[in-house]
A and B are shown apart, each in its own frame.
Chain A
């Protein structure tokens, strides 16, 4: 009986997290398109519902009722598995994200490693989709994307090491609580910039959306997908973007903490600050999508391996020596 109660409680908690995330993914897609429109002096989606808020729901409805087409020469099992894996991984990483000091499903010791592991797994959804389609454009897109994600993961890993040096724990709550006096964005500002750009590349957002560069590769690994399976890829992609925004606000912007610890600000519940910070980061993602032209593939690789990697490595050495010299290492 006790086990059942526990299972019931956990399911309840998981649903309470998953449903808002799925809804906010829908809203964030609308927000993205809207910002994109405004930057280009268009209106963006504004017809369905108030301000066009239900546009994504209408799109989702359309996707659900569309026929799922599986190419004749495709590897059926892998073809169907790929979008499922993408979406499952993107959602399961949210289990360890603390939205406020009490709102977290799994408060594990190695939270940051868990997120890193899950995001390194998400490349499989793309490779599997590209390979199983048995078609040239998806395969090229998948290979590009895999190379891109693997290389930018390296630089994100080293950026995380920078933050961990200042915290002394792999727990996400500890990382936030270590920023009570000073957000890490101040001492580690260059790392924040590098993190932001790497996050763009990691989630295949413009200007690094080479895997789905429509001028060269039709739609990259998603070319052969239709209906709900395409929608799942796309849901997973946006859930991943939100996840990296959340991770960025936890690592650098003090998570659920208010900017200054004075009365009217710190009375606001932490979750609002968290959501606010995620939205700010996502707003920057959306602006960049509208502003910056797409990179060439060799420029992208050069940026990852020849600039970000050495730079963040040097910054690790600098941070470590600073902490040791002034005896600030966390005990």
Chain B
């Protein structure tokens, strides 16, 4: 049990420290790397509480796909070194008041919510889900997701699809005069279409019909 606790503190300290470094680090690429480290340690915490499916999904979806996109954007936009000029007062921007107002509103809301927080009576004591040890986590999640919550599941899928189509529609533009290869043309090219043998008479040219 001591080993378990040690590992828990190890991963949670890494998670918190790297989350702080995401915000603090000047270099945006480093910030993304710290974000990845954060995701990984949270996945490890998931695995430690026995939710191995969630942990693996965290790794595959967030670290394997989302963070790669983040990295791409950050690396390609070349915003690696963030200059904190407004912070030092060399540049006047209107960001600070707006940020302060939004921050205060969120803080007030959090205080209201946390202050008024109260568990429902049925939740105040630990209640175990009807757990059947025959099934693994994956089976249980699949069972719930595809029976009780199938509509929510499908709707969230459709929302994602809509977002994808929207992004494509917004960024896609048909450009004129772009030369591309047609694969079918390239593959279906035969020798007869492309090679001609001509007898060339001396001192006279050859006219090819194009």
Contacts and interface: CB of A to CB of B under 8 A. Distances in A.
Nearest to A108: B52
A302 B187 CA distance: 15
B36 A124 contact: yes
A114 B56 contact: yes
B59 A120 contact: yes
Nearest to B136: A109
Interface string A103-129: 000001110011011001101100110
A246 B137 CA distance: 26
A146 interface: yes
B183 A302 contact: yes
Given A3-B3, A116-B60, A120-B59, A110 B68 contact: no
A117 B183 CA distance: 34
B71 interface: yes
Contacts of A32: none
Interface in A168-200: 169-170
A78 interface: yes
The winner among A108, A116, A120 for most chain B CB atoms within 10 A is A120
Contacts of B143: none
A76 B147 CA distance: 51
A139 B72 CA distance: 11
Interface string A303-314: 000000000000
B166 interface: no
Interface residues of B, number: 24
A110 B56 contact: yes
A298 B71 CA distance: 22
A121 B60 CA distance: 8
A150 interface: yes
Contacts of A128: 33
A153 B61 CA distance: 12
The winner among B29, B63, B64, B136 for most chain A CB atoms within 10 A is B64
B56 A117 contact: yes
A60 interface: no
B52 to A, nearest CB: 5
19 contacts: A3-B3, A78-B29, A78-B33, A109-B52, A109-B137, A110-B52, A113-B60, A117-B64, A120-B59, A120-B60, A121-B59, A124-B36, A124-B68, A131-B29, A139-B75, A143-B72, A146-B71, A150-B65, A170-B138
Interface of B: 3, 29-30, 33, 36, 52-53, 56-57, 59-60, 63-65, 68, 71-72, 75-76, 136-138, 181, 183
